[in-house]
Amino acid sequence: MQVSSRAAGVVGSVTLEIDAKAKKMKADGIDVVGFGAGEPDFPTPQFVIDAAKDALDKGLTRYTPAAGLLELRQAICDKLQKDNGVRYAPAQIVVSNGAKHALYNTFQAILEPGDEVLIPSPYWVSYPEMVKMAGGVPVFVPGAAEDGFKPSLSALRAACTPRTVAMILNSPSNPTGAIYTRQELEGIAALAVEKQFYIISDEIYEELTYDGAQHISIASLGKEIYEQTIVINGMSKAHAMTGWRIGYSAAPVPVAKVIANYQSHATSNANTIAQWASVAALTGPRDDLEAMVREFAARRDYLCDRIEAIPGLSCVRPGGAFYVMMRVSGLYGKSYEGQTISNSMDFAGVLLDQAQVAVVPGVAFGADEYVRLSYATSRENIEKGMDRIAAFVQKLK
């Protein structure tokens, strides 16, 4: 008896593994500071919770269409028009079990075995695995730190082959917080139109931008690129609704139909009560969101200042999302109580075991010189964690 080679080739999420180990240590009574999984530490807005309760009280607990409630799909269309300047019809929207599920559906819908997908590196850990799950081939295109971790247009062009079917565009980015400018997006759009490949635009962090930076949806840059773009978004980050599991895709009608059909057999509809709550989130006040963004900006500044003050560590100040890539390669070759640090896995492992601080090794993102820290945690935790990291680094020999 055996498992399929396709399934066996999928690697588990290192971010979730680190988070699980840290939570296990906490359950055992160990005081762990977690900079691991990216989840806002703010509560879901009360008016969203009230909308879910109202749906329950009204008995709105049955199946919806597989693609999602018409009311929610229309609210998503209205949001995309208002916030992003792109016009969609409800038939182009599929509501899924989180943005991750929307991405999975998309790869299943557009990839044939052997098709290649360009993935800027550093990348979110699930992108290459999802591509492989659909039979595709991930092609990594590195972006240097001095370029804000964004690959050059010439590097993207050089990575294109006749098998290139799509490129993943994540702006703001997990794990780097990088935001693509209009000029950069125009170059990517022109390349995609020229080479005829899809842009899978993961915009889940679009609301979390700082210093006046503007998120621009590449789908808004013209009719041709609009027809080749699949927008991915969801409720988790901007509305502090991670556990509600509502994401969505906005795509050309032929692609949306395939995604809806695929989902209808795989999961049917996303959670009905969470869909009604999402209608409220998209149409309600933004006070909670704006307060959250202000707090994230303050945490980012504090965290980056602390990193830069520790000898051997550095970072690129992110423009969005809630992550910092902390460069730790300056410490490679040093040791802690006989444990030599040679890579990001070593650093993360020894730091968790010896200083009770959980970070995510950069090798998970294709960037072994770094570890990722999430500042979606309280300033008190950030201060405590950075105190421990500073003391840990000081003890290295």
Question: Could you report the per-residue pLDDT of 93-118, keeping only the tens digit for each?
Answer: 999 999 999 999 999 999 999 999 99
Q: What percent of the chain has pLDDT over 90?
A: 92
pLDDT at 23 over 90: no
Q: How much is the pLDDT for 10?
A: 85
| ω into 151 cis (within 30 of 0) | no
Fold match between 5-43+288-394 and 62-283? no
Domain residue ranges in the chain = 5-43+288-394, 62-283
- Rg of the Cα atoms in the chain: 21
Q: How much is the pLDDT for 138?
A: 98
Q: Name the token pair of 382.
A: 């950030």
Question: Could you report the per-residue pLDDT of 226-267, keeping only the tens digit for each?
Answer: 999 999 999 999 999 999 999 999 999 999 999 999 999 999
Q: How much is the pLDDT for 380?
A: 95
pLDDT at 174 over 70: yes
- For 62-283, CATH number? 3.40.640.10
- For 5-43+288-394, CATH number? 3.90.1150.10
pTM: 0.95
pLDDT at 15 over 70: no
| Cα dist from 24 to 30, 40, 242, 311, 347, whole Å | 9, 20, 21, 31, 19
Q: What percent of the chain has pLDDT over 70?
A: 99
Q: Name the token pair of 132.
A: 């492989």
pLDDT at 328 over 80: yes
Parallel, antiparallel or unpaired: strands 339-340 and 314-315 = unpaired
Question: Could you report the per-residue pLDDT of 133-165, keeping only the tens digit for each?
Answer: 999 999 999 999 999 999 999 999 999 999 999
Q: How much is the pLDDT for 8?
A: 87
Average pLDDT over residues 306-315: 98
Residue 185 and residue 183: Cα distance in Å, rounded? 5
Provide φ and ψ at 265, rounded to 5°.
-90, -25
pLDDT averaged over the chain? 96
Query: Which DSSP letter does residue 310 get?
Result: S
